[in-house]
A and B are shown apart, each in its own frame.
Chain A
Amino acid sequence: MTRAFQKIYTKIDNITKATVTLRATGVGNDELATVGGRLAQVVKIMGDNVTLQVFAGTEGLATNSEVIFQGEPPKLRVSDNLAGRFFNAYGEPLEGGEPIEGEAREIGGPTVNPFRRLQPSELIATGIAGIDLNNTIVTGQKIPFFADSDQPYNAVMANVALSAKADKIILGGMGLTNDDFLYFKQVFENAGALDRIVSFVNTTENPPVERLLVPDMALTAAEYFAVDKGEKVLVLLTDMTLYADALAIVSNRMDQIPSKDSMPGSLYSDLAKIYEKAVQLPNGGSITIIAVTTLSGGDITHAIPDNTGYITEGQLFLRNDSDTGKVIIDPFRSLSRLKQLVIGKKTREDHPQVMNACVRLYADAANAKTKLENGFDLSEYDERALQFAKDYSEKLLAIDVNIDITEMLDTAWTLFGKYFTKEEVAIKAELIEKYWKA
């Protein structure tokens, strides 16, 4: 990348853990540079003093290390040849291989004009009833899994990605363990889907600050396929909590005043910039983002899940169900905001009411359970609600269920008929007449 006219600086004034400051002129904000061969980015300019953030950390750099400015912000070379390849956070091929030829595009580019967007309306069927029935996902949506670190979120996400019938799947791995990285690779390979996958991976073996580039790299590739090629692109980002942690590290080292939970005050905007890249385009292309935000002990009031929840269009909660011993998608805390655009419209007419009735009855069961735990007698209705809850959890909420939506609705009607009366289910009379299963 070095060009003839580039000036080489060899006098650094200040070195902190993550940044270096030197005197330089003609430097642009956000521009890339190398410091002693390590990639760095301009984060602050005060007169002649330029501060650079060194992604890999400053250990071992000296005041006479070479600083070469590249005159441009981070870019990714895009072409169809991205498909099937694995890259690091800088967009360099992993495991050797030829670099990609193609147009170099700035990452973290401009916003799609909201007025040019289309309303998402295409359903993504995953086969998992906890998603398709209760929290239907559509193209152009952004939705994270909220999960504790011990839950199988990566496996669920890989399943969703494979059954989603996307033209391209872009994996942005941040702080992924090497084992998980290999797992994704193997699952995609076994499914014969490797040629539809592009991966940008920062593993736990790489410096944490490098992660900050991963989502922008992944989304620049996604925009190439969705905008230029009109493809349906699914972007998987795991784990956004580790991304936010890296933001906190940087802001801390830049002496910024932390807000809630030691996170930078700009956390909301930083996360929104990524998630808002999800879009349904007028050319038929779309970017759908499914992310993972790991929680600590299920705490969603922490700044990371909290800000995420306000940005994304819902969230999917994984929970271990003690009644059935299975991992289920929690019907109370999970939500897909865009489901209203498709349920009962692209799916059968009874979908919205059946979905709500299930959750309401499941809530009755939860109340009955509380009663039981407090040592009270259960009414006959409570008993039925509890039995319903067990069946509902096993036949519909469990993540290993794989059926189509009509089948899910039929299963729900069977359960209604088995445990409840028509009045107890409280669904519109016309629908009861049509679908009730005695």
Chain B
Amino acid sequence: MKTTGKVNGIISNIVIVKADGAVGQNEICYVYAGETKMMAEVIKVVGDDAYVQVFDSTRGLKIGDKVEFEGHMLEATLAPGMLSRNYDGLQNDLEKMEGLFIARGSITEPVDFEKLWEFKPLAKVGDKVTAGAWLGEVKEQWVAHKIMVPFIMTGNYTVKSVAEAGEYKVTDTIAVVADGDGNEYKITMVQKWPVKQAIRCYTEKPRPSRVMETGVRAIDTFNPLAEGGTGFIPGPFGAGKTVLQHAISKQAEADIIIIVACGERANEVVEIFKEFPELIDPHTGHKLMERTIIICNTSNMPVAAREASVYTGMTIGEYYRSMGLKVLVMADSTSRWAQALREMSNRLEELPGQDAFPMDLSAIISSFYARAGLVKLNNGETGSVTFLGTVSPAGGNLKEPVTESTKKAARCFYALSQGRADSKRYPAIDPLDSYSKYLEYPEVEAYLGEKIEKDWVSLVYRGKTIVQRGKEANDQINILGDDGVPVDYHERFWKSELIDFVILQQDAFDDIDANCPMERQQMMYKKVLSICERDFDFVDFDECSKFFKGLINLFRQMNYAEWKSEKFYDYDKQIDAYIANH
């Protein structure tokens, strides 16, 4: 029998419930305000009192109102039919909700339970299986969606029967398995998993070794993101976090993209809703929306559900990873999630840590980032979840708790700088502050050496050194004046400007420049690097700056020209001639 209870106290969205039976920490319950049924989660238990956070507005709720406990934690429903959907933080399908406004207590199904899927068996009777084993598959869009032994089924099982190829609903039994004692379990295409726990149905988690191409030069060339790796983008408002994330979500070389809009602007999500169904995935030629799932909890939606949204996104990511797919999960912004934690901790009157955030913030963030990764599945295949989060540091100060905690957890750091944004040098990824730890991985170095060219990583470091020296030279010029330093300093500065303008800066709103394939990045980078490693004997700094300004202008036109087009090669020749004429 389910535990029930009555409302005994209300402080904003925290409700204190007198329960008549056992209550579990993080258990889900429903609070009834009249006819309206609102979902809530237990976050603290004191004697008979369960403190629950309601994922909705508690307006009008009264003492004595009915509460029903569900006996399980917050779960995601995992089944074919999730791709292209737009969920709220609790996996309600936004598209299925009626009316212009989201009514309180709106609950909609995350997948279509009536739809028929073309099932193909993969397992045979007698196969020994464990949780996560592939029993069959259905075609979801163009993805081979594996039907797996539910992740919650620990232990070893034997397949007793598998359904024949044919059309089935997600709730139909497609296999029967038996445990060692002969107890049989029916398996359908739908399973549930508590979102706050990691799905661990794999044999090992090797170090990432491949690079995930994003089409953004400042990332791919300078600080690459590994497939199965983690990264984060901190930046003050207006520095271009969202534009950068959108660019990556459009261009990244992944099978599945999950976008978690966590406590951000609704208009930005609308942009994805409207654009993605139109846009084409540059790697497969399919519609972008076909590989995308959006989890959307905008800033005006209930705070508690905001916290859940990142976990829902990650859980769905892990589910697709278990099918041997390359998944990219992006969350914009993890700071809003941390703020949701702060609001709740505050209402529970916990002793606060730095900036009133909960004391365990750092632990929560690092265990979340740890869920990403490349995994080797039980059947030998690999799958990956790459996670990229944005952080919105208060006042643009990178010393605040969320940035600091995330820095400990993530391996790539793409610092967006206010200075670069102010001078419209987009993407505003600071070339010197940012880093990718993956460049130091021998596996990654070997991979890039093979995929792009031998010793690619050392070429990258050479470019970084030029940028570093350019900055130092510029500092000197600013202190001593144009005439106060040798011309050599100007040359150094302008070489770093050349890398900045041609490689680091990229126009996200230009159809061609927005997405730069690796092959093109390689060619442009090597061309720029070869110029930077040449000695020019300039007479004075004026000649130097004029020369480079002209050169930068030609390179920019080249960036705007279509790859390998006549115009592209024409600029290539013009640049060679320009240098020869010097």
Cα-based distance from A266 to B94 in the complex (angstroms): 25
Contact with B along A110-129 (1 / 0, CB 8 A): 11111111111000000000
Residue contact A423 to B549, C-beta cutoff 8 Å: yes
Q: Once the chains bind, are A45 and B9 in contact (CB under 8 Å)?
A: yes
Given contacts A27-B62, A120-B267, A268-B339, contact A426 B102 (CB under 8 A): no
Contacts of A314 in B (CB 8 A): 238
Q: Is the CB of A306 within 8 A of B394?
A: yes
Contact, CB under 8 Å: A269 / B343? yes
Any chain A CB within 8 A of the CB of B153?
no
Ranked 4 nearest A-B pairs via Cβ: A301-B395, A272-B299, A276-B300, A309-B237
Contacts A44-B10, A73-B60; is A113 near B100 (CB within 8 Å)?
A: yes
Partner of B483, one of A111, A120, A311, A377: A377
Pairwise interchain contact B481-A371, C-beta atoms closer than 8 A = yes
Residues of chain B at the chain A interface (Cβ within 8 Å)? 8-11, 16, 57-63, 86, 94-95, 97, 99-104, 236-238, 263, 265-267, 269-271, 273-274, 296, 298-301, 303, 333, 336, 339, 342-343, 346, 349, 352, 355-356, 392, 394-397, 422-424, 478, 481-484, 509, 541-542, 545, 549-550, 552-553, 556-557, 560
B299–A268 touching, CB < 8 Å: yes
Smallest Cβ-Cβ distance to B397: which chain A residue: A301
Q: Please determine whether B238 and A309 come into contact, CB atoms closer than 8 angstroms.
A: yes
Q: Is the CB of B266 within 8 A of A332?
A: no
A110 to B101, Cβ gap below 8 A? yes
Residues of A within 8 A of B352 (CB): 257
Closest chain B CB from A245 CB (angstroms): 18
Q: In the complex the two chains form, is A28's CB within 8 Å of B62's CB?
A: yes
Q: How far is the CA of A321 from the CA of B552 in the complex (A)?
A: 31
Shortest distance from the beta carbon of A351 to any chain B beta carbon, whole Å: 12
Tell me the smallest distance from the CB of A362 to a CB of chain B, in Å: 10
| A2 interface contact, C-beta 8 A | no
* Minimal beta-carbon separation of B506 from chain A (angstroms): 13
Q: How far is the CA of A315 from the CA of B483 in the complex (A)?
A: 39
Task: Indicate the member of A29, A140, A338, A340 with the most B CB atoms within 10 Å.
Answer: A29
A359 to B102, CA, bound (A): 42
Our pick among B16, B59, B273, B483 for the contact of A114 (Cβ within 8 Å) is B273
The answer to whether A272 touches B300, judged by C-beta atoms less than 8 angstroms apart, is yes
Nearest to A138 among chain B residues (CB) is B267
Shortest CB distance A341–B (Å): 8
Establish whether residues B481 and A311, one from each chain, have CB atoms under 8 Å apart when the complex forms: no
Given A29-B10, A119-B274, A360-B423: A114 in contact with B269 (beta carbons within 8 A): yes
With a cutoff of 8 Å between Cβ atoms, the chain A residues found around residue B481 in the complex are: 371, 374-377
> Considering only CB atoms and an 8 Å cut-off, how many residues of chain A contact the other chain?
83
Given contacts A31-B60, A119-B267, A260-B394, contact A265 B346 (CB under 8 A): yes
With A45-B11, A269-B299 already in contact, 20 other A-B pairs whose C-beta atoms are closer than 8 Å: A29-B10, A29-B59, A45-B63, A110-B102, A113-B102, A114-B94, A114-B298, A115-B97, A119-B270, A141-B267, A266-B346, A269-B303, A276-B299, A278-B267, A281-B100, A301-B395, A371-B481, A375-B481, A376-B484, A428-B560
Chain A residues with CB under 8 A of B336 = 268
Which residue of the partner chain, among B63, B273, B556, contacts A27 with CB atoms under 8 Å? B63
Interface pair A114/B8, CB less than 8 Å apart: no
Inter-subunit contact B86/A115 (CB<8 Å): yes
Sampled A-B contacts (29; CB under 8 Å): A28-B59, A31-B60, A44-B10, A46-B8, A46-B9, A46-B11, A73-B60, A106-B59, A110-B101, A112-B100, A113-B94, A113-B99, A113-B100, A114-B269, A117-B270, A118-B274, A265-B342, A269-B263, A269-B300, A278-B267, A282-B100, A300-B395, A310-B392, A313-B265, A363-B424, A371-B482, A374-B478, A379-B541, A426-B556
Tell yes or no: A387 within 8 A of B by CB: no
Within 8 A of B (CB), among A295-343: 300-303, 306-307, 309-311, 313-315, 332-333, 335, 337-338, 340
Given A259-B355, A310-B392, A115 contacting B273 (CB threshold 8 A): yes
User: Looking across the interface, which residue of chain A has its beta carbon closest to that of B269?
Assistant: A114
Contact between chains at B267 and A265 (CB < 8 Å)? no
Cβ contacts under 8 Å, B482 to chain A: 371, 376-377, 379
Q: State whether B237 touches A310 (Cβ < 8 A).
A: yes
Chain A interfacial positions (CB closer than 8 Å to B): 25-31, 44-48, 73, 106, 109-120, 140-141, 227, 256-260, 265-266, 268-269, 272-273, 276-279, 281-282, 300-303, 306-307, 309-311, 313-315, 332-333, 335, 337-338, 340, 352, 356, 359-360, 363, 370-371, 374-377, 379-381, 423-424, 426, 428-429
Note all chain B residues with C-beta closer than 8 A to A377: 481-483
Residues in chain A near residue B542, CB distance under 8 A: 379-380
Q: Which of A27, A111, A265, A424 contacts B356 (CB 8 A)?
A: A265
B354 to chain A, nearest CB (A): 10
A140: contacting residue among B267, B549, B556, CB under 8 A: B267
Q: Which of B269, B301, B394 contacts A111 (CB 8 A)?
A: B301
- B265 close to A311 (CB less than 8 A): yes
Knowing A47-B8, A265-B343 are in contact, say whether A360-B396 is a contact too (CB < 8 A): no
The reply to whether A338 and B267 form a contact with Cβ atoms under 8 Å apart is: yes
How far does the alpha carbon of A273 sit from the alpha carbon of B303 in the complex, in Å? 11
- Min Cβ gap B248→A in Å is 17
**Residues from chain A with Cβ under 8 Å of B560 in the complex:** 428
Residues on the B chain within 8 Å of A273, using CB: 299-300
